[in-house]
Amino acid sequence: MSDYRKKTSRPANGYASRRPSSPNRGKKKGQESNLKAEDLQQQAQAREITNYVSERTFADFPIHEKLKSALAHKGYEKPTEIQDRSIEDLLNNRDLLGIAQTGTGKTAAFLIPIIDKQLRDTKPEAILVLAPTRELAVQIEEEYRSLSRGMNFQSSCFIGGTNINRDVDRARRRPDLVVGTPGRLLDLSDRGALDFRDFKVLVLDEFDRMLDMGFEKDVNRITSAMRNRKHTMLFSATLDKTQRNQIDRLLTNAVEVKVSSGEASNDHIEQDIIKIAEGENKFQVLLNLIDNPEFEKVLVFAETKRWVSKVRSQLSKAGIKADEIHGNKTQNYRQNALNAFKTGKIRVLVATDVAARGLDVEDVSHVINYQVPKTMDSYIHRVGRTGRAGKTGKAYTFIQD
């Protein structure tokens, strides 16, 4: 494989180092990461890997028979680690702090107890799920729908970039479960279509990401308006001191469950650096890589929306079936691009971090960082898009010499 392009294991240095305080809002175009690509690789490889195998199956769980059938129908036989370690406490209404990434089964970990309670209650309580990105919100609703199929519960997903009037109508119908991004939910509340006091149960998914994206105020507005909130589940991929105050305010006597994702492991992901020499055409290097038939399903990350569009349009011009997802694209567009990628209609998806966070796409053969990511966390999430479900994946990071 080494003849794709010269690769090196020498320390990656010599690229500009202006690091933004936040990876998202307010960043200037063209800012470069000050992280060394090699350090990223090493840290990612050093992450603890656990191949967790539960000793019990969902049949052993104290959950409703209908839910057991839905789980069996989805092919979920044994719980994942986060599910095994949190579901019973959640069934007992304990608050939860779950330190878990996408890929660990965290969505079902909170949805299983939620659906179980909805099945048992004569008057089920309305549930509110907050997610940082539109794609994640859509995925959560899809998982809810498939786990609650045939149970006659209504759900709605409220995200930016879609028709607000339709959402107003839907919100007025008081769905059993609402999932959404903070901005759109506040919009609906401001229009009087949604009353946060109606929700007793709250899930905050990818809380760290929510703060990263500048949603702190929005989240505070929502949680303080939820005067009847009595059960809160909070999930975060990372846990650092800056979040601690926020988390302590939101949770009461919470159970803490931390699981390792086993995603970015050197068992499943081969990581490599590709040095781009001064004056060398970086796009051509990308093209040479992608031209190789082994690159079946490729996720390319670029730092800004502009870069994403540029790389994508160059790929299209070169005759490669590609599309792009980033914050400037409508929700519809992003969903279509994602579906085309999932089903293999396009071979390459170019994305920004924000758009790609939480995506659950099977069988990504290669992840390419067109630029060095700005944070370790972002690197881990990106390379974790490949090498999933025991398959081998490859991740390449371009660095400018």
Which one, 144 or 398, has the nearer CB to ligand AMP?
144
Q: Is 79 in the site for ligand AMP (CB under 6 A)?
A: yes
| Residue carrying the six token digits 């959950």 | 63
Give the distance from CA 190 to its chain's centroid: 27
Q: Is 388 within 8 Å of 342 (Cβ atoms)?
A: no
Six-digit token string for 383: 């390379």
CB of 388 to ligand AMP, least distance (A): 8
Q: Which is nearer to ligand AMP, 52 or 307 (CB)?
A: 52
Tell which one of 83, 246, 352, 386 touches ligand AMP (CB under 6 A): 83
Q: Which is nearer to ligand AMP, 110 or 153 (CB)?
A: 110
Residue 256: partners with Cβ closer than 8 Å, 6 or more residues away: 96, 97, 99
End-to-end CA distance of the chain: 22
Among residues 196, 143, 142, the alpha carbon closest in space to that of 171 is found at 196
Q: 305, 333 in Cβ contact below 8 A?
A: no
Among 12, 23, 41, 80, binds ligand AMP (CB under 6 A): 80
Least separation in angstroms between CB 247 and ligand AMP = 20
- One-letter amino acid at 186 equals L
The CB-of-82 to ligand AMP minimum distance in angstroms stands at 8
Cβ proximity to ligand AMP: between 105 and 175 the closer is 105
Q: What residues numbered 105-164 form the site for ligand AMP, per CB under 6 A?
A: 105-108
Pick from 146, 196, 205, 201: nearest CA to 174: 196
Closest distance between ligand AMP and the C-beta of residue 335, in Å?
Answer: 17
Closer to ligand AMP by Cβ: residue 70 or 193:
70
The span of 96-104, 153-161, 197-205, 209-217 binding ligand AMP (CB under 6 A) equals 96-104
Q: How far is the CB of 147 from ligand AMP (least distance, A)?
A: 9
Distance from chain centroid for Cα 341 = 16
Q: Which amino acid is at 286?
A: L
Contact residues: ligand AMP, CB under 6 A: 76, 79-80, 83, 102-108, 360
